[in-house]
Structure 1
Amino acid sequence: MKKLFTVLLMLMLAIALVACGASDEETTVKPDSEPTDDSGEESAEASEDLPDELIMGFVPSQDSDKIADTVAPLADRLSEELGIPVTGQVMTNYTALVEAMGNDRVHIGFIPAFGYVLATERYDNVEAILKSVRHGSSTYRAQYTVRADSGIESIEDLEGKVWAFPDNVSTSGYLFPAAQLMDDYGVDAVEDFFSDMIQAGSHDNALIMVLEGDADVSTTFEDARTAIEGDYPEAMDELVQLDFTADIPNDTISANTNLPASFIEDIRAAFLAFNDDEEMLTIMDEVYNWTGIDEASDEDYDVVRSTYEKFKDDGTISLD
């Protein structure tokens, strides 16, 4: 009996040791079977946040079909750099581009300074990440252009004339010239100063209207005559620079902030790398006369915001 008890005791101990061994093994294996970090999960989530196609929005500074053809190689290169299909889309005007960005239909917008200010006032998902450089400067001026044989010699002589401008939300085409007329020349309302005001749809068209006698003066970026010289070689002689406005911060490359922050940084880096790529710089020059790309911040455009305050409540400028 005593011997049987001993055998039973040893058997129970053996069973207990096996159970403990099995328990210890499960505790050790379990952590190894789980991910030790969540980087893969985060990467998957970021990928899910990306659109199937990245849309770049442009406004017409020249013929829309010409811009579309010109930006195609830019879109192709960005697609290679970012690993996602990229398409350039030419909008009808600044307002259409701003609305498309605000409603997530455009992810990268080439937005002039004033259009950017309007975009940030109306939407919270638009942010300037870069700005253009033209001939070594990140600022520019608006230019008043008249025919050389017009007899117009000063801005005061423009009273009662026909004004052609690209769009009423164009920084150089409308906002800064209108503000200068009000501040420096005592003009209460620009629509009363001119006999007629024509939205031409682009800087090129505004100049061509003056060249062909359909308007007396146009306001554009400086010097937009070079953009039409190929088709109108007489432009440099028959159109003259009457005057200029104060400095304006250059156009933005703005991002839709509903994109992942890390992807926006990839976009910023890809564009900045174009400063060392002659092919891409040539494309930027052909589209908007850009000769380089620089960092930008929202605060760079506060001077435009302060100018906008002159028109904010008079109903002449809106995105509606």
Structure 2
Amino acid sequence: MFTPSKSLCAAVSAVAVSALALAGCSSVDSDSVAASGADNAWPESITLSLVPSTEGEDLAEALAPLTDYLSENLGIEVNGVVASDYAATVEALGADQAQVIITDAGSLYNAIEQYDAELILRDVRFGATSYSAVAYTNNPDKYCEDEPVAASYAASDVEMLYCNGIEEEDQPAVGEGPAGVEALSKISAEDKVALQAATSPAGYQYPIVAMQDLGMDTDSAFVQVPVSGNNNAVLSVLNGDAEVSFGFWDARSTVLSEAPEAAEEVVAFAYTEMIPNGGVAASDSLPDDLVAKLSTLMDDYADSSEEAKDVMFDMVGLSDWTAETAEDEITRYGEILKKFSN
């Protein structure tokens, strides 16, 4: 997930305010009225809210190709605005300041639960709509039932070590969980375990749930070592500050440029259940036929041109969207969020 810098938020605030003001416009498209009746008339414009990964000065360049594509093919104006964070996309949808949001899994769940939003697409990264939290260790003799094997991680084109059968030797790693989670029960009270913030799905929430499902008292089962970020979770194990850590699949790739030895010295030994990527949700105020066409257009966007693929990756770090929404994964994610809401 990507979080915009303060400079981005400052740079686009004026754009966001002016664009959000347009969202209140709802004059009727005459062709839509003729086709489907006044009750299902398409609005003259809609607003799409997202948290991009681009810098502020590239905002117009990042958003324009997508919004222009949607505007041209829908026949109505599509405005793109930047939210300060993922929660703000839900707030914008609830206030009808945005009718479409591109956001993370937790915000999708909240939009569905709070505002009856419709989940229309899921994010695809490197062919996957979900990912596992990974347990890493520098002590494979303790946590591995077998000899660690090398498998290739396609996203960084490098081989890294895995054990407990979670990956096949000399094959592309797939990151499918749950797998090997029973090995987490080998963590003892004196062991140091690096955990990220309690809001981190891969660095805290899903691992904690996995351990609790094994009957472990996660308040006393180990010594907690707080870390910030997936890269530091990996480095904590590499540097010996912790015996076990957790991060997204595969967080070792984030440190390979500075510490290439992590590919061999940090061993992945367990995968949790899958954590859903984010996606796209639409307001229930939009006509069904508009939502259907919008969904198809966004689903097809990455394949519409080579430029579109680049724009999509640069804008929100995605390779595609898919209409296979697997809403049950979002629901499960919401259940876990509630568990840690306090």
Q: TM-score, normalised by structure 1?
A: 0.61
Aligned partner of residue 281 in structure 2, secondary structure:
strand
How far is 1:310 from its partner? 5.6
Which one of 295, 310, 313 corresponds to residue 268 of structure 1?
295
Q: Secondary structure at the match of 1:181?
A: helix
CA distance in 1, matches of 2:68, 2:204: 33
Code of the aligned partner of 2:313: D
- 1:245 partnered with 2:281: no
Give the whole-Å Cα distance in 1 for the aligned partners of 2:259 and 2:213: 30
Residue 327 (structure 2) aligned to one of 293, 301, 304: 301
Matched, 1:317 2:310: no
Looking at secondary structure, tell me which structure has more helix per residue: 1
CA contact (8 A) 1:107 1:256 kept: yes
Identify the match of residue 142 of structure 1 among 133, 136, 146.
133
Instruction: Name the SS of the counterpart of 1:247 in structure 2.
Output: strand
**Contact 1:130–1:252 at 8 Å: present in 2 too?**
yes
TM-score by length of structure 2 reads 0.58
Is the Cα contact below 8 Å between 1:101 and 1:107 reproduced in 2? yes
Cα distance change, pair 175–257 in 1 and its aligned pair in 2 (3 A): farther
2:84 pairs with 1:91: yes
Cα distance in 1 between the residues matched to 2:283 and 2:204: 25
In structure 2, C-alpha distance between the alignment counterparts of 1:218 and 1:63, rounded to whole Å = 29
| SS of corresponding position for 1:142 | strand
The letter of the residue matching 1:301 is E
Distance 1:273 1:263 in 2: 15
Measured after TM superposition, the shift of residue 84 of structure 1 is 0.9
Higher radius of gyration, 1 or 2: 1
Please give the alpha-carbon distance, in whole angstroms, between the structure 2 residues aligned to 1:287 and 1:152.
42
CA distance in 2, matches of 1:70, 1:209: 32
Summarize the Cα distance change of 1:254–1:237 in structure 2 as closer, same or farther, 3 Å threshold: farther
Contact 1:98 / 1:115 at 8 angstroms: preserved in 2? yes
Show the counterpart of 2:47.
Answer: 54
Q: Which moved more, 1:261-270 or 1:210-219?
A: 210-219
Q: Per-residue deviation at 1:295?
A: 1.0
Deviation at 1:50, TM superposition (A): 4.5
**Matched position secondary structure for 2:257:** coil
| Structure 2 residues without counterparts, runs of 5 or longer | 1-32, 144-182
The 2-side partners of 1:241 and 1:71 are apart by: 37
**Equivalent residue letter for 2:82:** Q
Which residue number in structure 2 is paired with residue 39 of structure 1?
A: 34
2:122 corresponds in structure 1 to: 131
Root-mean-square deviation (CA), in Å? 4.3
| 8 A contact 1:173–1:220 mirrored in 2 | yes
